[in-house]
Amino acid sequence: MKNIIIYLVIFSFIFSPGVGAQEENLAVIQSIYDNALSTDFAYKQLERLCKEAPGRLIGSPNSFKAVELMKEYLTEIGADTVFLQSFTSPAWIFNSASLSMIVDGKQVPLKVDALGPCGSTSKQGVSAEIIEVMSLDEVRELGKEKIEGKIVFYNRPMNTTYFNVFKAYSEAVDQRYWGPSLAQEYGALGSITRSANPNMDDFPHTGSCRMEGNKIPAVAISTNDAEKLSKALKSNPRLKVKIRVDAEDITTQSYNLIADLKGSEKPNEFIIVAGHLDAWHNTEGAHDDGVGCLQSTEVLRLFKEVGLNNKRSIRVILYMDEELYQSGGNAYVAYSKEQQVINYFAIESDAGGFSPRFFSVDAPDRILEKIKKYESFLKPYGIEEITAGGSGVDIGPMKELGVPLSGYRTDWQRYFDMHHSANDTFDQIHFREMQLGSGAMASLVYLIDTYNLADQE
């Protein structure tokens, strides 16, 4: 089988994807999926990553463990080179967080998690009255007079009526990202944000908030407990809560994990396949983004295993620190400039391990048009289209280098059920759905490497 594939690959190098080559491409792609859907190495490794190194925020012990686990794995699956690209970055080390309502002198605990990188309180925590708002503007309108000395409670739910759940997320998330610093500006002592979760349940969903200087404590509250708190506040507008956060700001040495499969013709040109290795402190980080890491390593393994003699080097980058400061993505761009690395194309998987839907491409029109021609090869495997759009947070900084970028997109309806919560566990990952993604990424990389991106090539 391997020999036939090698022959087919050589055959398709010679021809552009005309009628004859079309059949050959379909055969090669079939062989990629055959292997992807019948091999569980990556699935088993994802389980190890999730169970042995959950909570992999930059600087945490498990972030280093995750790098080691994946470095060993990349060597095992046959990468030619595996190395750590080191950089220095700020980090935020989470220890604990709690929030309780004080009812009749008793503390009633609520389900919360700290937003990173928020401020800490003393061990005793901070007690204050709360003020519920639905928007950032409401805080501005209320002004310092009403906000000072209180804890601001942002309680606007996600709009669940949209088909595009990412749109609902992006509309809701301003209160998590900007809310705490705005509350701080008006003199608040702390901030509580309703979790960006379309469902009613008990999982707090954390995430990043922008906060500098004299930081205040900030937590995300589960949707069920947001309702509970709102109700309690309506019956007692002078209700007090006690907020407590224990976390630390440090500077750390950290690493992007990089593995190459050397190209046969243009080894100095790199096709990047990427995910991010870090994950929030409260989660196994299965969908976000353990699965993206393993789909990326699958591209390398599939090229090797199926015998797809790549012209360019395939470079897997497992980025560190997508979640807090995006320092890994920026550090790779700095490294590329220093080393004059030729990054030919980059694709990131960071939309969960669900069934494939489409690839978005962030590149000039002529390149998009060229990649769009590959749609027909991928449609039988659930890729509905290749369309203009964003790529990924980690590879995004490569845009300044002029690198054509792409994002692998999935059926996202359930993504925010789990996103940044303790609900994002390995058992939520479906083997076939994950591997359809690995197959799609490997196939797209194969077509790009075979037929080139620039017109003159």
Residues in touch with Zn ion (CB under 5 A): 288-289, 350
Contacting residues for 396 by C-beta, under 8 A, at least 6 apart: 329, 390, 405
CB nearer Zn ion, residue 47 or residue 289:
289
Looking at the Cβ atoms of 191 and 428, the one nearer to Zn ion is: 428
Question: Helix 291-306 vs helix 61-76: angle between axes, to the nearest 10 degrees?
Answer: 10
Q: What angle do CA 294, 206, 252 make, to 5 degrees?
A: 70
Amino acid 25 reads N
Task: Determine the 3-state secondary structure of 127 from DSSP.
Answer: strand
Least Cβ distance, residue 325 to Zn ion (angstroms):
14
Smallest gap from residue 421 Cβ to Zn ion (A): 13
DSSP 8-state assignment for residue 37: T
Task: Tell me how far, at minimum, the Cβ of 151 lies from Zn ion, in Å.
Answer: 29
CB of 83 to Zn ion, least distance (A): 23
- Smallest gap from residue 276 Cβ to Zn ion (A): 6
Distance CA 240, CA 103 (A): 8
Give, in order, the Cα–Cα distances in Å from 40 to each of 29, 49, 211, 440: 18, 14, 42, 16
Shortest Cβ distance from residue 441 to Zn ion (Å)? Answer: 16
Least distance between Zn ion and beta carbon 403 (Å): 20
Distance between alpha carbon 138 and the CA centroid of its chain, in Å? 31
Separation CA 147–CA 136 (nearest Å): 12
Q: Please, which residue, 113 or 350, has the CB nearer to Zn ion?
A: 350
Output 56 or 244, the one with its CB closest to Zn ion. 56
Our CB check for Zn ion shows the closer of 5 and 220 to be 220
Buried b (16+ CB within 10 A) or exposed e, 184-223: bebebbbbbbbbbbbeebebbbbbbbebeeebbbbbbbbb
Question: Rounded to the nearest whole angstrom, what is the least distance from the CB of residue 293 to Zn ion in the complex?
Answer: 10
Pick the closest to residue 82 from 341, 317, 346 (CA basis).
Answer: 317
* Separation of alpha carbons 164 and 127, rounded Å: 39
The amino acid at residue 431 is F
DSSP string, 269-311: EEEEEEEE----TTS--IIIIIHHHHHHHHHHHHHHHHT---S
Contact by Cβ (8 Å): 359, 407: yes
Closest to Zn ion by CB, 13 vs 412, is: 412
Q: Contact at 8 Å (CB) between 317 and 336?
A: no
Q: Give whichever of 180 and 328 is closer to Zn ion, judged by the CB atom.
A: 328
Nearer to Zn ion, 97 or 279 (CB): 279
Supply the minimum distance, in Å, between the C-beta of residue 318 and Zn ion: 12
**For Zn ion, the closer CB: 289 or 321:** 289
Comparing CA positions, the residue from 337, 353, 177 lying closest to residue 275 is 353
